[in-house]
């Protein structure tokens, strides 16, 4: 945990992760500050990069995305320019929510939203396999969701 954060900063971050729609007055009351100092702290946390964005989290199923898939992608060796093209393409595909470089047999893992399995099959052939350097895709389709959060732990666990 960065030393620059005190207990009030952590309370603000915790509240914002749970409900960023709270007004500054509501936030101030809950953390024990007046409105102006609370607003200044929130602005400082934004300026320092602790708060990256304030967004609405939408219900993917109500929007027709019934499937969530983890696509593991195997790639050939890419030049710097090809790698740049790959990442630019990934950023331009809205159904790919997340993409990570990973160790192991596969090279990257993507979190993909899909309306159904037929759509996903078409997506693999028409989109993912056409990305620069992609030679194989292995998919893990989720059956149910037991936990999904965007909240970052504000303290490191201590194990010793």
Q: Could you read off the pLDDT of 100-126 as tens digits, one per residue?
A: 999 999 999 999 999 999 999 999 999
- The rounded distance, in Å, linking the Cα atoms of 8 and 134 is 47
pTM (2 d.p.): 0.86
Of the pLDDT bands very low, low, confident and very high (cuts 50, 70, 90), residue 66 is: very high
Give residue 4's pLDDT: 83
- Helix, strand, coil fractions of the chain, as percent rounded to 5: 35, 20, 45
- Check whether 38 has a pLDDT greater than 80: yes
Measuring CA to CA, which residue among 140, 60, 157, 155 is closest to residue 102? 140
- The rounded distance, in Å, linking the Cα atoms of 77 and 100 is 16
- The rounded distance, in Å, linking the Cα atoms of 151 and 21 is 15
- The rounded distance, in Å, linking the Cα atoms of 111 and 132 is 18
């Amino acid at each position: 945990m960065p030393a620059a954060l005190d207990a009030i900063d952590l309370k603000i971050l915790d509240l914002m992760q749970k409900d960023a729609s709270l007004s500054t007055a509501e936030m101030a009351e809950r953390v024990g500050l007046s409105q102006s100092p609370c607003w200044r702290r929130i602005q400082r946390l934004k300026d320092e990069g602790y708060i990256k964005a304030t967004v609405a989290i939408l219900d993917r199923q109500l929007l027709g995305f019934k499937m969530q898939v983890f696509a593991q992608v195997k790639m050939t060796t890419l030049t710097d320019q090809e790698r740049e093209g790959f990442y630019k393409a990934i950023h331009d595909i809205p159904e790919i929510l997340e993409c990570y470089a990973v160790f192991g047999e596969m090279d990257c893992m993507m979190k993909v939203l899909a309306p159904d399995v037929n759509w996903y099959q078409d997506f693999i052939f028409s989109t993912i396999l056409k990305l620069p350097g992609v030679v194989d895709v292995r998919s893990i389709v989720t059956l149910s969701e037991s936990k999904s959060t965007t909240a970052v732990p504000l303290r490191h666990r201590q194990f010793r």
